Amino acid sequence: LRQDVVPLHRHQHPQIASGEVEQRLVGDLEISENQYETVRNQLVAATILVDTIQHSLKTLEKRVSATEEALALDEPEFSSLLLVHDFSSEQEFLDSRLGAQERVVLKGILDDLDVREVRNRERSQDSASQLANLEGQAPAGWTLEELREERQEAERQCSSYDQRLGAIRQTMDADAQRRSIHASHMEKIATQQKVCALWDRLNSLIGSHDGKRFRNFAQGLTFELLIAHANEHLRELSDRYLLTPDTTKPLDIAVMDLYQAGEVRSARNLSGGESFLVSLALSLGLSTIASKKVQVDSLFLDEGFGTLDEETLETALGALASLRNQGKLVGIISHVGALQERIPVQISVIPVAGGMSRIVGPGCSRLA
């Protein structure tokens, strides 16, 4: 086919290359062959489907024919049964039938009755077997009167057992009631124990016959507040120490040395200069607490500066100067000569003969 088509196309279209023509024709031929194969497969599938439908149709025709034959045979019997059961027509029979739901309910009842019948039959057989065994085990030589007496004795024992069982049940009921009361009491005890624990805790904190423990507790609250305010002032005086309550003596002061990795030691081990800074911080903290209710405008310091080195003295005087800038009057009583250069307003006490002294300074005058 390809050999025949190519020369023909050359003759009809000499301006087109033969290779291009052949390529186009080959492509068209492949498309046609694919379409032909697809149509052929569809034809085969349709043929198989037609055969299947024809087979099913023949099967249905046979079933319909068989059903019609069975219906023709059952029709006379059905008509006679309608007359026997007083139905005038088939429609009357159809109208008198039960609904599907009612038939399901009746079917369930019937199945239940069948199960009961089977169980009753099995029980009857078991009872007959037990009766036969008992008859075979009947004691020889016993009279009817003896059996009656034995039965009465068994009934008396059963009655006695019933009485004992009743007494046991009554005891169990009383025990259950007592257990319920006990559980209620235990709940009340648990509630009261919580209240008691609260009072025990309160007693451990502030309870004592002489009031000492309560005083220590109240003083401890003020003491902790004093230490908090004192630490605020101590930070301005020195960055080395912080005050903290002594763990062994709650109302004593210990110091935390920040230069020694936070080591806590007694305040009694401080040097003179360090003790002065701590005392000054405590005094300032106390004035802070007191100023919340009473205005504290004056602060007097008696001695303590003689033990300070130059750097510490400078820090202390700077802190006192900041208080003066806050409007407070700061008075210093000291014999340290270095303070004279730092304090602008001074009142001097000058000794005179005879153990007497005179006061010289602003606002001082001799009485007439």
Q: Is the pLDDT of residue 2 over 70?
A: no
Residue percentage of the chain with pLDDT more than 70:
88
- Residue-wise pLDDT for 207-248, tens only, equals 666 667 777 777 778 888 888 888 888 887 778 888 888 877
* CA pair distance 204, 186, nearest whole angstrom: 26
Q: What is the pLDDT of residue 184?
A: 93
Q: Give the end-to-end CA distance of the chain in Å, rounded to a whole number.
A: 158
Q: Is the predicted pLDDT of residue 158 greater than 80, yes or no? A: yes
Residue 206 has pLDDT above 60, yes or no: yes
Q: Which two tokens stand for residue 58?
A: 């023949």
Q: In this predicted structure, what is the pLDDT of residue 336? A: 74
For residue 275, which of 318, 297, 310, 306 has the smallest C-alpha distance? 306
CA distance 243 to 229: 10
Q: How far is CA 112 from CA 107, 115, 124, 126, 133, in A?
A: 9, 5, 18, 21, 31
Which of the residue ranges 41-45, 270-274, 358-362 would you say has the lowest mean pLDDT? 270-274
Averaged confidence pLDDT in the chain: 81
Q: Which of 239, 307, 232, 315 is nearest to 273 (CA)?
A: 307
Task: Inform me whether the pLDDT recorded for 316 exceeds 90.
Answer: no
**What CA–CA distance (Å, rounded) separates 304 from 268?**
16
CA distances from residue 276 to 24, 79, 230, 237, 305 in whole angstroms, order as listed: 115, 132, 13, 11, 8
DSSP 8-state secondary structure symbol assigned to residue 330: E
Q: How many helices (H) and strands (E) does the chain have?
A: 9, 7
**3-state DSSP assignment of residue 245:** strand
pLDDT of residue 4: 47
Q: Is 289 in contact with 229 (CB distance < 8 Å)?
A: yes
**Which three-class secondary structure state does DSSP give residue 16?**
coil
Average pLDDT over residues 290-302: 72
pLDDT of residue 6: 47
The encoded tokens of residue 89 equal 């027509």
Bridge partners (DSSP) of residue 300 are: 331
Sign of the Cα pseudo-torsion (301, 302, 307, 309, in order): positive
Instruction: Answer whether 299's CB lies under 8 Å from 331's CB.
Output: yes
Check residue 304 and give left, alpha or beta (phi > 0: left; psi -120 to 50: alpha).
left
Q: pLDDT tens for residues 324-343?
A: 777 778 888 877 777 777 78
